[in-house]
Structure 1
Amino acid sequence: MATPLSASRVCLRAGRTAASLSARHSRALSLPAGRCYITTSTGSNLQFRLDERTAHSSLDLFKKDTGIIYRMLGLDPSHVPNNPERFRDWAVVFGDEKIGSGRHYWEVTIKKSQEFRLGVAEALMSRDDCVGTNSSSWVFGYAQRKWFAMTSNKIVPVTLVGKPDRVGILLDYEAGLLGLVDIEKPRIIHSIRAQFKAPVCPAFGLWDGELLTHSGLEEPEGLK
């Protein structure tokens, strides 16, 4: 019997699995000239919107591009603008800010979804991959009523979280830390350690319901 959080389950999208990903040769994304991300300041009040150019055809943006809704059927991929920034196989979207330094904090309302991923990914990550399945992305996910941390297609269960309506994400670029934050305490529930070698963007995967992002926030006091 497969484990509840097997890579093939949490990576499922349009009939593709983590196994099929590992057999593929990932390639880096080359953004066209003049179509680059905005570079953020090094302050903690990171502000971003979701970048429609990266959004998979099953994702609709709303509320001035701060929220995403998953559509099971979605649009025919041939009916959305074809550009190298768009995820073609996976229900993923990036934020429109590129982060290369500093400590940053944002929150996500998750109460209307039962399957999602939240975190960061290198701005030039391959659009053939799903966030969490490669060494260019670091995410916290929720599926089958369980939380997990994921990078390089490796899953680590995250316990004692429950299902709050809203969670925080803390990124410390220089320290190589990505934290999942309980905003009620506040405290870091679980952290992922990484060595960031390239600018990253806020990254989101969604396979059910909707998510709403909240940026431009002060980091809660007491987080380490």
Structure 2
Amino acid sequence: MQWPKMAALRSTLVRFRERARALSLLQSRGMRESRPAARRYVAGTPRTELQFKLDERTAHSSLDLFKKDTGVIYRILGLDPSLVMDNPERFRDWAVVFGDCQVMSGRHYWEVTVRKSEEFRVGAAEAGMPRDECIGTNSCSWVFAYTQRKWYAMTSNKMVPLSGVGKPDRVGLLLDCEAGLLGLVDVQKPRVIHSIKASFRASLCPAFALWDGELLTHSSLEVPEGLD
């Protein structure tokens, strides 16, 4: 009788197909993780509308992205770093995430809903800044920090306190590459509350750090007329 042999052959073929399918899934996941991060460059016109999402490849293991990668939430424990794909673009020691675009010139504006966090930093950083440092602690990142119910302008680990800002639900960021300015914007007026003067030497990314709650980003916005 040939039936036992045919059944064994069919069973072998089924196992072979299942293993091939599993291998294919693992390879496709590996390709997605190892593929270089897509970076979109903005050509830099005086009123470029900056469009970006948060780049998961840069996100520290304590950060989760949500709302189609426009929001970020802090997890107290987060993921075990050993379970996160090793990626040279990922921040290793600090809860930082970058936007997925780079700018080299022009004026750019975006906003961040901050009402659900009490400790965060928002601003811009050189795309190639070291991944074992935090934004605001070096000379290649410029941020506005909110901590202990106070605002600070911060770069090179120097913190300048800002008075009379309060805690709005939403703030704006104005980046002027040619003028070398990063401004914190009151979105209700609108007006620049404070500006950080800098000499930008490389392409920049929107940058965010978070130690509690969540932030939600808003891009594709024109520079408000009141800031012209």
TM category (shorter chain) comes to: 0.7 to 0.9
2: CA distance, partners of 1:204 / 1:77: 19
Report Cα offsets for 1:186-217 as digits up to 9, x if no partner: 00000000000000100000001000000001
Which protein shows a greater Rg?
A: 2
d(CA) in 1 for partners of 2:211 and 2:36? Answer: 31
Pick one of 42, 45, 48 that aligns with 2:44.
Answer: 42
Matches of 2:158 and 2:138 in 1, distance apart?
9
Structure 2: runs of 5 or more not aligned: 1-33
Q: Deviations over 1:149-200 (max 9, x none)?
A: 1000000001111001000000000100000000001000000000000001
Shift of 1:144: 0.2
TM-score normalized by the length of structure 1: 0.84
**1:41: how far off?**
3.1
1:168 to 169, 172, 176: 172
CA deviation after TM superposition for structure 1 residue 113, in Å = 0.2
Distance in 2, Cα, partners of 1:72 & 1:113: 13
1:56 shift after superposition: 0.1
Q: Select which of 112, 134, 141 maps to 2:116.
A: 112
Greater share of helix: 2
CA RMSD of aligned residues (A): 1.3
**Could you list the runs of 5+ residues in structure 1 that have no partner in the other structure?**
1-31
Aligned match of 1:192: 196
Q: Distance in 1 between matches of 2:76 and 2:91?
A: 16
Q: What does 1:51-66 correspond to in 2, within 5 Å?
A: 51-66=55-70
Cα distance in 2 between the residues matched to 1:117 and 1:172: 19
| Cα distance between partner residues in 2 of 1:93 and 1:33 | 18
Query: Paired residue for 1:6?
Result: none
What's the CA shift for 1:37? 1.9
2:216 and 2:171 mapped to 1: Cα distance?
11
State the secondary structure of the residue aligned to 1:73.
coil
- Equivalence for 1:132: 136
Native 8 Å contact 2:171 2:184 kept in 1 = yes
Partner amino acid for 1:38? R
Shift of 1:36: 5.4
Q: 2:157 aligns with which of 142, 153, 156?
A: 153
CA distance in 2, matches of 1:129, 1:165: 28
1:222 aligned counterpart, secondary structure: helix
